[in-house]
Amino acid sequence: MTTAPAPDGEFARLLKPFLPWILLSAVTGIGAGAATVALLSTINQVLNRQGGLSGGLLLTFIGLCAVALFGRMVSDVSTNFVGQRVVAQVRKSLAQKILSAPIDALERYRTHRLMPVLSQDVDMVSDVAFALSATLIACVTALGCLAYLAYLSLPLFGVLLVALAIGATVQAMAQFRGVSGFWKAREHEDQLHKAYRAISEGAKELRMHRVRRQRMFGGQIERIVDNIRTVNGRAINTFVIAAAFGSGLFFLLIALILGWASFRPTEPAVLSGFVLVLLFLKGPMDQIAGALPAVGRARVAFRRIADLSARFATPEPHLHVGHAGSELKFEHEIALRGVRYAFDAPEGGEAFALGPIDLRLRRGEMVFVVGDNGSGKTTLIKLLLGLYAPHEGEVAIDGTPVGPERRDDYRQLFTTVFSDFYLFEDLAAGPDEEQGEASMQVLPQRALPYLERLEIAHKVSLKNGAFTTTDLSTGQRKRLALVHAYLEGRPVLVFDEWAADQDPTFRHLFYTELLPELRAKGHLLVVISHDDRYFHLADRIITMSAGRIADDRPRAHLESLAA
């Protein structure tokens, strides 16, 4: 079983700003519970007196009813107020943490683990938050009932206490077993999400491969789902059995008390009070017992949230989600000096280490990065982009090292199209961002020439600052990503195998016209490529091998080789 940090501290920190509301909820909840107990006592009085419910008792009854109902309503509303805000805060804080987490930390925490925490676990906490006030009122009512019973008869209350101690021990054991079951089930749910991703993203491959499809369903999904069913079923049954035991104990208790009355003379008011209150008490007790599985699940969910929070507790320094402006300019050169970076070793394998890398890239240069698969091209690019912080050495711009405080500003100099790029539908406005609305209106005209040039103007246009569709072929989607790059107009453009999905004509256009045009405008172009037919067009070719620069050749050298 994976251990996670205790969520209590995190929970207390979240609740602190809502202390007045929590107090209001508690006070009104306690008021409602106390009024309910007082109502019971009034009913017991009425049962044991002549004249029934009349006069002062009637007024008391009405007053207590009003306090019980109003108290409950205020308590529910306050809990809901706090619950919804705490859940909203958890959602915002998680999103903010993910937005500012170091990229390598995010890469280590797999998506199939991230999504269930963000959706399922947060929803679970949200559900329980609303049930809290009802449970609180049930607890107060139960305590009030006990106090009233103690007041009625101490010896009978002693018998009740023994029964309660037995019931509480059984509940505590059930809680322990149940929660560890829920924890185990939750771990299986991560695997289920992974399998769900495989069947949605690998749908085509699975359709084409019967054995894999059967293995995916029978060997994975069925097995995981059955595991979850068994583990969850057992955990819930534990609670159900404990609750049934509790109910049985109640009836046994009533029988004991009635039996007690036949051996020892007991006042009718005491006897009727005990039976009445015990029968009533079963309701709140059942409510508390019924809430325990949900509380158990919420505790597991909250632990997962706290675990995710703790993993991303160290944000990238100086990364402000709300901060937009950047003063950093790129005039001449970006340099990597003695840069080293190493991944954690995969299970049973060797860690990949990059470096030491010494590299200088100049404005107006078109640099191709080539090399075998797994030689470290993408890792090098991520270091160049400031997505990974070097473990050793430094990245410098125009002679000034890029420290953590400037890394995010530095990244704003680049536009990238990764091989596994994500295509946003909306456009982040370009250099004329300050013009706001006005720039949004000219955006379609600005984009049109690029869309036409990239031969997708008949498919897609710009409306309200977003592309009208992204349902395009892979090659067309990459062209759309290039339109983003054009419109952003940043000084450095990085393409990771951009042309790999393009048809030969367009690939030719990319290497022979689009890239040279961008270079002519003064951009620095860094192009990861396996297209050796076009290598001669580069100003420089950097060849990566086993995490090192094996070769760094300028164009003159390449031309002399070709000659």
Q: Is 529 in the site for ligand ATP (CB under 6 A)?
A: no
Stretch that binds ligand ATP, among 155-163, 258-266, 369-377, 533-541 (CB under 6 A): 369-377
Q: Is 421 in the site for ligand ATP (CB under 6 A)?
A: no
DSSP state of 5: -
Q: What angle do CA 433, 106, 369 make, to 5 degrees?
A: 70
- The contact mask relative to ligand ATP for 312-351 (x = CB under 6 A, - = no) is -------------------------------x--------
Task: Compute CA 403 distance to the chain's CA centroid, rounded to the nearest angstrom.
Answer: 29
Least gap, CB of 374 to ligand ATP (angstroms): 4
Q: Is 386 in the site for ligand ATP (CB under 6 A)?
A: no
In whole angstroms, give the CA distance from residue 49 to residue 57. Answer: 11
Least gap, CB of 375 to ligand ATP (angstroms): 4
Cα radius of gyration (the chain): 34
Q: Is 543 in the site for ligand ATP (CB under 6 A)?
A: no
Q: Is 373 in the site for ligand ATP (CB under 6 A)?
A: yes
Least gap, CB of 497 to ligand ATP (angstroms): 7
In whole angstroms, give the CA distance from residue 82 to residue 131. Answer: 12
Burial of 539 from C-beta contacts in 10 A (0-12 / 13-18 / 19+)? middle
Specify the residue, 28 or 543, whose C-beta has the smaller distance to ligand ATP.
Answer: 543
* Nearby residues of 326 by Cβ (< 8 Å), 6 or more positions away: 408, 409, 412
In whole angstroms, give the CA distance from residue 270 to residue 47. Answer: 11
DSSP string of 60-108, one letter each residue: HHHHHHHHHHHHHHHHHHHHHHHHHHHHHHHHHHHHHHHHHS-HHHHHH
In whole angstroms, give the CA distance from residue 54 to residue 303. Answer: 54
| Residue type present at position 492 | V
Instruction: Please state, in angstroms and as integers, the Cα–Cα distance from residue 128 to each residue in 22, 164, 179, 290, following that order.
Output: 15, 25, 15, 12
Least gap, CB of 395 to ligand ATP (angstroms): 17
Q: Is 109 in the site for ligand ATP (CB under 6 A)?
A: no
Give the residue, chosen from 375, 476, 529, 543, that forms a contact with ligand ATP under the rule CB under 6 A.
375
Q: Is 371 in the site for ligand ATP (CB under 6 A)?
A: yes
In whole angstroms, give the CA distance from residue 14 to residue 290. Answer: 26
Least gap, CB of 481 to ligand ATP (angstroms): 17
Torsion of CA 398, 401, 402, 406, to 10 degrees: -90
Give the residue, chosen from 71, 376, 386, 390, that forms a contact with ligand ATP under the rule CB under 6 A.
376
Specify the residue, 102 or 364, whose C-beta has the smaller distance to ligand ATP.
Answer: 102
Quickly tell me which residue has 């490529």 as its tokens. Answer: 529
Least gap, CB of 102 to ligand ATP (angstroms): 12
Specify the residue, 374 or 404, whose C-beta has the smaller distance to ligand ATP.
Answer: 374
Helix (H) or strand (E) holding 39: helix 19-47
Give the residue, chosen from 299, 303, 311, 377, that forms a contact with ligand ATP under the rule CB under 6 A.
377
Stretch that binds ligand ATP, among 12-20, 232-240, 371-379, 398-406 (CB under 6 A): 371-379
Stretch that binds ligand ATP, among 20-28, 357-365, 368-376, 448-456 (CB under 6 A): 368-376
Q: Is 379 in the site for ligand ATP (CB under 6 A)?
A: yes
Q: How many CB atoms lie within 10 A of CB 504?
A: 9
Q: Is 355 in the site for ligand ATP (CB under 6 A)?
A: no
Q: Is 107 in the site for ligand ATP (CB under 6 A)?
A: yes
Per CB under 6 A, residues contacting ligand ATP are 107, 343, 352, 371, 373-379, 544
